[in-house]
Amino acid sequence: MWVALHEVTHRTQFTGVPWLREHFLGLVSAMLAEADPDPTRLFAALGRVAEGVRTRTNPLDHGGVSALFASDTQRAVMDDMGGLMSLLEGHGDVTMDRAALDRIPQADRFARVLRARRKEMGLATRLLTRLIGLEAKLNQYEQGEAFIAAVEARGGPELLNRAFERPENLPSRTEITDPEAWLERISEKRADRSRH
């Protein structure tokens, strides 16, 4: 029942926000439209690996091997998709925890165990999850929850709900890890609209 709450939250997100389903499918279509077995992408991927070595960053951090071989357009779509999915997964976890608190016995224990399992992996499992992009997916839960906590600390659920008003209000993957940047951008948009 506890896990079902999380899935019902996702169902509610996609049915309760009129534009969300179409926007999500548009992102998926944009990714697929760019699918092209272009051999030059191998050289671009090698360049990203070399850049990662030079800057001491891991080129697999943002989606695994698929992100490594993605075109610039796909990488931009992946950024939008990463922001959206982090928001939805974090929102799903937060909503599930709040809804389950007084309705499901031991819900707090379930939440602790699930979060611990996401973090505690052996070296081989961690490497595999990084290669296939699952690590980025698992990070979405934690980053989304932290984003929601930061936004709600500033303006409660009402401020968070601004993310669901229109596609342009969704946080990017960068803004998910920097809620202040999202808050600043959203404040500027509201000020611009009120001037017009």
Rounded distance between C-alpha atoms, residue 137 and residue 60, angstroms: 12
For the chain, which ranges sit under pLDDT 50?
131-132
pLDDT in tens, 159-194: 999 999 999 999 998 999 999 999 999 988 666 666
**pTM score:** 0.72
* Residue 50: predicted pLDDT: 67
* Residue 138: predicted pLDDT: 62
* Residue 194: predicted pLDDT: 60
Residues 6+ apart with CB under 8 A from 174: 79, 83, 181
Rounded distance between C-alpha atoms, residue 83 and residue 16, angstroms: 19
Q: How far apart are the first and last CA of the chain?
A: 47
* Residue 131: predicted pLDDT: 47
Residue with tokens 């930061």: 150
Helices in the chain by DSSP H: which ranges?
A: 2-16, 20-33, 40-55, 64-68, 72-100, 107-119, 123-132, 134-161, 173-176, 179-195
Rounded distance between C-alpha atoms, residue 79 and residue 67, angstroms: 10
